[in-house]
Amino acid sequence: MRILVVGSGGREHALVWAIAGSPLATDIYCAPGNAGIAEDAICVDIAATDVPALVRFAVKERIDLVVIGPEAALEAGLADALAAESVLAFGPSKAAAAIETSKGYMKDLCARVGVPTADYRRFTDADKAAAYVRERGAPIVVKADGLAAGKGVVVAETVEEALAAVDACMRDAAFGAAGAEVVIEEFMAGEEVSFFALVDGEDALPFASAQDHKRAFDGDQGPNTGGMGAYSPAPAMTPALEQQVLTEIIEPIVAAMKADGRPFKGVLFAGLMLTADGPKVVEFNARFGDPEAQSILTRLRSDFLTALVVAAEGGLKHFDLRWRDETAMTVVMATNGYPGPYGAGSLIRGVADAEALPGVTVFHAGTRQSTEAGAYEAAGGRVLAVTALGETVREARDRAYAGVAAIDWPDGFCRTDIGWRALD
């Protein structure tokens, strides 16, 4: 099969890597990719949101399956445009991706089918939003309705902080059109876990659980990021809890979206809060997590490409997956300054030394080729995702950090406490 993976981050490197392990894959392309991906696929210089160019490439190159990595490509309508040309794609339509791209749609859907989530109200008027914040008091959560690169959510400890978030979104347009509407919701206390299911429009197949670390610095301090590390499976996600999440959350959503005329196909990523009243939805995403995918895919024993094709074509009801017993952990190495402003072009050495260590795989998130043999240049905020398998969380952690230690990159940093919750 001829495959095109769309995207350029660590998640897409993991997708390419897992697809490359399939005997069915003959040719793998990635648009636009990065220097690490270029070692496992042919990189094509097309942006992930350049829908016309991606469709032209897929048709011309007779691509059998397009695997869409980032949400921006889903929101740009890539899956719809490919379907119009009869190109098979893994990833939901623009209308179905609204479960991620519109928090208002997601909340209304949950309310309609009785899926547990935080109480909420939607606002397009800043004065009414502010009045509601004052009425409810703190802690309270303010969310821009649309995609805001993970920065559109403020968990406010005080009313003043919540009012400032409303102003930033609605009066100062900090997130442009994505913040013209806000969702204000109840604060939920508990432990967060992520759960992923493959969905073919009708049926959901449980995929894996994971936990990630969104804050930039140790001790879950500092600004929010795309994710500084992850591990899978999440020990908090017991088999009984997984069954509950499947029947009370995932399956009702999949059925309602089908009934709505926007069937979801692809991977449904549920961000959950394990509250005293049971699991509740924090958010849904319409794609694999980054860096969750890097951890999850190293654990998969079954043929990943076959699973993607079955999800895209239909038939998950009769499909099953096998996993390794090990835990996987991913430590993200980022350029100093991330998630604020950072430079590019610093030299990274020792990636091959890290990969030679037991259980270690290094996925590239933002690298480009260097003129020095065996070295790379940093070309992004998140740059490497050092991933390791181990018999226990502790072994996976020790191996991942041994990989980090083997990498010589003075301009990079990472958190030193990934997995702390699972170790305590």
| Residues at the interface with ligand AMP (CB under 6 A) | 118, 141, 143, 153, 155, 185-188, 192, 214, 271, 282-283
18 binds, among ligand AMP, ligand GLY, none (CB under 5 to 8 A by kind): none
Candidates 197, 189, 191, 194; CA nearest to 283 is 194
By beta-carbon proximity to ligand GLY, the closer residue of 104 and 289 is 289
Position 285 contacts ligand GLY (CB under 6 A): yes
Using the rule CB under 6 A, give the single segment among 117-125, 164-172, 248-256, 289-297 that binds ligand GLY: 289-297
CA distance 144 to 60: 39
- The contacts of residue 9 (CB under 8 Å, 6+ apart) are 34, 69, 70, 290, 365, 366, 380, 382
By rule CB under 6 A, what string of x and - marks binding of each residue 194-213 to ligand GLY? ------------------x-
| 398-416 per-residue burial string, b: 16 or more CB within 10 A, e: under 16 | ebbbbbbebbebebbbbbe
Using the rule CB under 6 A, give the single segment among 38-46, 135-143, 287-295, 362-370 that binds ligand GLY: 287-295
The single-letter code of the amino acid at 297 is L
DSSP 168: I
Whether the Cβ atoms of residue 258 and residue 244 lie closer than 8 Å to each other: no
- The contacts of residue 18 (CB under 8 Å, 6+ apart) are 297, 300, 304, 305
Position 377 contacts ligand GLY (CB under 6 A): no
100 binds, among ligand AMP, ligand GLY, none (CB under 5 to 8 A by kind): none
Instruction: State the nearest-atom distance from the C-beta of 213 to ligand GLY, in Å.
Output: 9
290 binds, among ligand GLY, ligand AMP, none (CB under 5 to 8 A by kind): ligand GLY
Instruction: State the nearest-atom distance from the C-beta of 47 to ligand AMP, in Å.
Output: 24
366 binds, among ligand GLY, ligand AMP, none (CB under 5 to 8 A by kind): none
202 binds, among ligand GLY, ligand AMP, none (CB under 5 to 8 A by kind): none
Position 294 contacts ligand GLY (CB under 6 A): no
DSSP 26: S
Among 10, 146, 227, 229, binds ligand GLY (CB under 6 A): 227
Instruction: State the nearest-atom distance from the C-beta of 391 to ligand AMP, in Å.
Output: 29
By beta-carbon proximity to ligand AMP, the closer residue of 272 and 414 is 272
What residues between 13 and 52 interact with ligand GLY by CB under 6 A?
Answer: none
DSSP string, 339-400: TS------EEB-HHHHHTSTTEEEEESSEEE-SSTT-EEE-SSEEEEEEEEESSHHHHHHHH
Using the rule CB under 6 A, give the single segment among 57-65, 175-183, 273-281, 288-296 that binds ligand GLY: 288-296
Instruction: State the nearest-atom distance from the C-beta of 153 to ligand AMP, in Å.
Output: 4
**70 CB-contact burial (10 Å; exposed 0-12 / middle 13-18 / buried 19+):** buried
CA distance 209 to 238: 10
Instruction: State the nearest-atom distance from the C-beta of 399 to ligand AMP, in Å.
Output: 27
By beta-carbon proximity to ligand AMP, the closer residue of 283 and 326 is 283
CA distance 267 to 292: 13
Give the angle subtended at the CA of 78 by the CAs of 290 and 203, to the nearest 5°: 70
141 binds, among ligand AMP, ligand GLY, none (CB under 5 to 8 A by kind): ligand AMP
Q: Which residue has the CB atom at the shortest distance from ligand GLY?
A: 227
Among 292, 303, 326, 377, binds ligand GLY (CB under 6 A): 292
Give the angle subtended at the CA of 400 by the CAs of 197 and 349, to the nearest 5°: 115
Size of the site for ligand GLY (CB under 6 A): 7
CA distance 134 to 414: 39
Position 290 contacts ligand GLY (CB under 6 A): yes
50 binds, among ligand GLY, ligand AMP, none (CB under 5 to 8 A by kind): none
CA distance 403 to 344: 22
By beta-carbon proximity to ligand GLY, the closer residue of 170 and 293 is 293
Instruction: State the nearest-atom distance from the C-beta of 210 to ligand GLY, in Å.
Output: 9
C-beta atoms surrounding 160 within 10 Å = 11
305 binds, among ligand GLY, ligand AMP, none (CB under 5 to 8 A by kind): none
Give the angle subtended at the CA of 320 by the CAs of 304 and 195, to the nearest 5°: 75
Candidates 34, 72, 30; CA nearest to 54 is 30
Q: Element (H or E) spanning 153, and its range?
A: strand 153-156
By beta-carbon proximity to ligand AMP, the closer residue of 264 and 284 is 284
Whether the Cβ atoms of residue 273 and residue 192 lie closer than 8 Å to each other: yes
Residues that bind ligand GLY (CB under 6 A): 212, 226-227, 285, 289-290, 292
